[in-house]
Amino acid sequence: MPVGKIFRATRWLIGKGILAAGLVGLILSVAVRDSHALAAPVFYALPLPVTGGFLALAAWMAHGKWRRRILACLAVGVLGFWFVRSYGWAWPAQAQWKAITWNLGRPKHPFQPLVALVRAEQPDVMTLVESDGLGPAEAQGYERLLPGYRVIPGPAGLTCIVRGEIFDGSTIPLGDGGGMVNFRLRIRGERVDVFAVDIDAEPRIPRRRQLESLAKFTQGRTHTLVMGDFNTPVESVWLAGLRVGYQSALEGRHRGFRETWFYDLPLLSLDQIWMSRDFQPVFASRRLTLASDHAPVVATFDVR
């Protein structure tokens, strides 16, 4: 077979594959999301910015003026919808409290970007995910670097940093490899429950069991923060149970993209801060950094 025919056939196959990926991503985002176990990994792999990119590439590779125009309009529509829904233009406003969550990606300790972030932001409470290797000795080292803060290492790389008192921390298994730690704190004279969350990242493991367990353990609570790496975008259908009693900080007044992964590319909103409804979210944003593949989320809020 002539080289020219092989090239054209290969280009045709690649174009069809790209178009199929874009259309599948669009259908999943609109109608199915991660409600079915088989669809969920594909839904996570094809967030709207990726889906829009595939459709734009398919338009560029398409033959025929009208086919290109239709696909280009579809790509612009998908990317425009994602941008309007994701990007926030709000400006910071004064609030009583500040919380941060960050997946550190298993760094060496002391992790200077973490120290710099705490010094710059002065949060009242912060949860760390994948802080593996942070034991009692490392915690004391951070406390020397961050006067006024307590650093409490938990199991499975879940750590709490607080400017206040801590009473205890209890581990709660969520099933399917996920887990969280309930840190009971006193901040600014108020009793606060903080749940540090790490949902299993394996894309083939359904999130339903883990997120339904999380909602069960946290339901009916007040003065509560649920934050960490959900490894599940905020569009997931399985976050419905948590939404009953909680509100997502990055879905309220925020600035910038709400997606926190991957290495400052706004692909998936995996890192989240949820607040019980007796807290009033004021402002939230992600912080751009290449120190981890996840961006830290900073949220300010008041007590109603």
Contacts of 19 (CB under 8 A, 6+ apart): 54, 55, 58, 62, 71
pLDDT confidence of residue 10: 78
**Percent of the chain topping pLDDT 90:** 90
- What domains sit in the chain, N to C, each tagged with a CATH number? 3-86 (no CATH), 90-303 (3.60.10.10)
Which residues pair with residue 198 across a beta bridge? 179, 229
CB 60 within 8 A of CB 74: no
> For 50, how many CA atoms within 13 A lie in the half-sphere containing its CB?
20
248-269: pLDDT as tens digits: 999 999 999 999 999 999 999 9
* Mean pLDDT within 84-93: 96
Q: Read off the pLDDT band of 95 (50, 70, 90).
A: very high
pLDDT confidence of residue 276: 98
pLDDT confidence of residue 204: 85
Q: Read off the pLDDT band of 63 (50, 70, 90).
A: confident
pLDDT confidence of residue 244: 96
pLDDT confidence of residue 257: 98
Q: Quickly list DSSP for 75-110.
A: HHHHHHHHHHHH-EEPPP---SEEEEEEE--S--SS
Examine the pLDDT at 1 and tell me if it is beyond 60.
no
pLDDT confidence of residue 168: 85
Output the CA–CA distances (angstroms, integers) from residue 92 to 101, 266, 282, 303, in the order listed: 18, 21, 8, 17
* Mean pLDDT within 124-132: 97
* Mean pLDDT within 154-175: 93
183-216: pLDDT as tens digits: 999 999 999 999 999 999 998 899 999 999 999 9
In whole numbers, what is the pLDDT of the chain averaged over residues? 95
pLDDT confidence of residue 2: 74
Examine the pLDDT at 164 and tell me if it is beyond 60.
yes
pTM: 0.95
